[in-house]
Structure 1
């Protein structure tokens, strides 16, 4: 049973590397997990479908956030931002990449649209990237950094949700902890991600690179309007009010659906977006985010199979046999390795944290790890694999924007670069941090 996770994740990874569609790759991995665990194909499919509801809230929030992002774009305020980027950052590769990382961070913590801004903001910049001969792998790495590092380190927006999940996981398993301690513990893996980003920008992808035509398969088709000079108007003021309202609702309710609905309501009530345009706004939101939402649903079904057949528990139990005779360094290494494998398969650090907390806390307490070190291990293990997973929104989002012209490959241009530049330093910093603290 302990091999179920490893074998199924390998199937998904290998199929993805051979350019099999990510949805088909996840379904194949799910069926492999079910068959390896002794289920029939029909039973595996039933369990996959029944588990898809686990991410229904997330999928709906992505659709609504997509509609909110389309509404923001309709107001014209995105054009102002794009024009500023083009005017200020043309020819400045390093500043461009750092700015994109910063914008992605704002989408996690201040402007709660998550990945929905990427298919709006990035396609108009693709020609600029090509003229600058900017390596799109570097752009993907910068965007993924902002999407991940921000919620890992900053206790606001999505970061507040993530750290509360970590806090609840610790407390539910008998460890007294506070939000401030959770924030401090997550600065350790966050520092590793900063190192990975700087390495990618200044060393790995500093050379010029032209995109490879058709490398992305041309499956993404996003029409973008020609950019025009846009002056700040009353509509833009109401758009900013809608964004702030969505942020406040998200912080108070910790619910993305409510947040997106609040933002959309302001946009319609203030006539920034006419009601008669509502159908087009929602339809475009579905078109932009629908594939990503469905990937998350299928990934949830896959995760359900792994949990229901006890594959994750079995993997940790087998690992614990080695932990009994290991020192702290060996225990931390194995726990992080297990987290990496599990999260690559499930594709969600938010969904992985509760599973890992229930398994890791007893092991860490028995081995003598401090609460801070335990939190570092759980948070890092949950974050590991999120970058680089074909099923993760942290990789699907950047690809949705960068492959608007069909010249960016999801696996080789997003997943592989982000896996190497973030999972390696995350592992090292999380492992060292658990031993130091």
Structure 2
């Protein structure tokens, strides 16, 4: 192939355009052929499968996630028999829920930026960088493992103790990119650590987001649907049922760190990752800033628990930091705007993903998909558990949110699991794991979006290639295997 370097008459834009075309055209041709064969054979492709497959394909082709979501949703709606106006209406009618969640993330982002203004994270990054630059290679490796342990601890606390979800990532990670480069750490390993740690914390520990998922969503739906089948669930059953599936996520994280992404990886040095300024720009944190930051975190946690609102907790924490002088009172607008800008992409994708999920629901083909899977299962428990998990994985990838998947799967999965002879604990494990599969690894998931927002601060970490695919493989493959084992032995 003639490149722009060897042929000045060919512009870089023309070259890139042709290169993208050579990647897109085969996919379009193959999809058209498959769709045509299905039409000629009078075989109806399930609209949910088609919609999610198109969304994934577009993301893999580097189409922006919002455009991929909207395009796939409209195509799926039209395929299900809707007209254009109805498909757009189903998309628009469900944006409100996503917008409410998005606004919460914007406020959390502002709170996270306000915490960063205290200088604690910059001081931490500076101390780590100084140690890496002066210590031996053995000690540098020790620093790498210490950083990994810190990321796991922060991920756990972000879901259960200080529930800011993924907002800590774009604040904590960018100052450490220079350290990662000097340690030659593969950022895909960090993406897997963050995604797996966040996932297993809310799926196993019944506090914070874990209390919402395990008690308010999973237990509530099991008891509501299971009442007709003499199935009841108590709060102590959820962690026991989810233990083995969660161990699958832990196993996947260990594989990513110790095997898949163990080898060093080099990244280009940019202005953001130039650690040479650490010696000249010393960071100092005043005691009042430390006290105010700890107080803001404590009050934000109390308010979040008291009012059951992350939005209120983050807002009050932001006001405390402003009143304590962590940043100038007149700089409030700048701090809030910076936090909003940091979380804007995530908020937009969450909003559109809510509309995407609304179109999936409006097609009316989620239930037929699960029923077709049930017909395929027959009386085979082992096959039934595997198909239920894989269907749940596919649906949750489309929704990008395990919390929203439970109410959709529960009315179908609970009677199906009981009919196949699964125990109450196995039924809970199947439903809880099926709804959680795909949360880490979906292009529209807040977990993968959060990892990318921090690791791509210097433009060297691709969302799909470096966050979505690695986390999908390592968080979900292990969970499918361990959840299948849990269903068979519980």
TM-score clears 0.5: yes
Where in structure 1 are there 5+ consecutive unaligned residues?
Answer: 215-220
Q: 1:261-306 CA distances to partner (integer Å, 9 max, x unpaired)?
A: 2322322343334432221121111100011011011111010011
Post-superposition offset of 1:52: 1.0
TM-score, length of structure 1 as denominator length: 0.93
- Pairing 1:178–2:214 present: no
Distance 1:232 1:373 in 2: 53
Aligned residues: CA RMSD: 2.2
Which residue of 1 is the match for residue 200 of structure 2? Answer: 149
Q: 1:222 to 1:379 in 2, by over 3 A?
A: farther
Please give the residue correspondences for 1:120-269 in structure 2 after superposition, counting only pairs within 5 Å.
120-164=171-215, 165-173=217-225, 174=227, 175-211=231-267, 228-269=282-323
Contact 1:147-1:394 within 8 A present in 2 as well: yes
Secondary structure (helix, strand or coil) at the match of 2:236 reads helix
Q: 1:254 to 1:436 in 2, by over 3 A?
A: farther
Post-superposition offset of 1:354: 1.6
Structure number with bigger Rg = 2
Post-superposition offset of 1:148: 1.2
Q: 1:417 aligns with which of 470, 475, 490?
A: 470
Q: 1:313 to 1:242 in 2, by over 3 A?
A: same
Secondary structure (helix, strand or coil) at the match of 1:179 reads coil
Which residue of 2 is the match for residue 277 of structure 1? Answer: 331
Q: 1:202 to 1:232 in 2, by over 3 A?
A: farther
Contact 1:112-1:246 within 8 A present in 2 as well: no
Which residue of 2 is the match for residue 105 of structure 1? Answer: 156
Which residue of 1 is the match for residue 116 of structure 2? Answer: 73
Secondary structure (helix, strand or coil) at the match of 1:155 reads coil
Post-superposition offset of 1:38: 0.9
Contact 2:121-2:175 within 8 A present in 1 as well: no
Which residue of 1 is the match for residue 397 of structure 2? Answer: 344
Contact 1:349-1:383 within 8 A present in 2 as well: yes
Q: 1:364 to 1:222 in 2, by over 3 A?
A: farther
Please give the residue correspondences for 1:375-414 in structure 2 after superposition, counting only pairs within 5 Å.
375-414=428-467
Q: 1:308 aligns with which of 338, 362, 367?
A: 362
Distance 2:463 2:446 in 1: 12
Q: 1:80 to 1:186 in 2, by over 3 A?
A: farther
Q: 2:417 aligns with which of 339, 354, 364?
A: 364
Distance 2:362 2:98 in 1: 16
Q: 1:171 to 1:420 in 2, by over 3 A?
A: same
Q: 1:280 to 1:202 in 2, by over 3 A?
A: same
Which residue of 2 is the match for residue 15 of structure 1? Answer: 58
Greater relative CO (CA pairs within 8 A, separation 6+):
1
Distance 2:218 2:130 in 1: 41
Q: 1:87 to 1:103 in 2, by over 3 A?
A: farther
How many residue pairs end up in the alignment? 430
Post-superposition offset of 1:130: 1.2
Which residue of 1 is the match for residue 35 of structure 2? Answer: none
Post-superposition offset of 1:194: 0.8
Contact 2:178-2:274 within 8 A present in 1 as well: no
Secondary structure (helix, strand or coil) at the match of 1:244 reads helix
Q: 1:171-230 CA distances to partner (integer Å, 9 max, x unpaired)?
A: 11123111111122222211111111111111111111113799xxxxxx9999976332
Please give the residue correspondences for 1:16-35 in structure 2 after superposition, counting only pairs within 5 Å.
16-35=59-78
Contact 2:47-2:363 within 8 A present in 1 as well: no
Q: 1:355 to 1:25 in 2, by over 3 A?
A: same
Distance 1:88 1:168 in 2: 49
Distance 2:53 2:107 in 1: 33
Range moving further from structure 2, 413-422 or 144-153: 144-153
Secondary structure (helix, strand or coil) at the match of 1:229 reads coil
Q: 1:154 to 1:6 in 2, by over 3 A?
A: same
Q: 1:46-71 CA distances to partner (integer Å, 9 max, x unpaired)?
A: 21111111222211110000000011
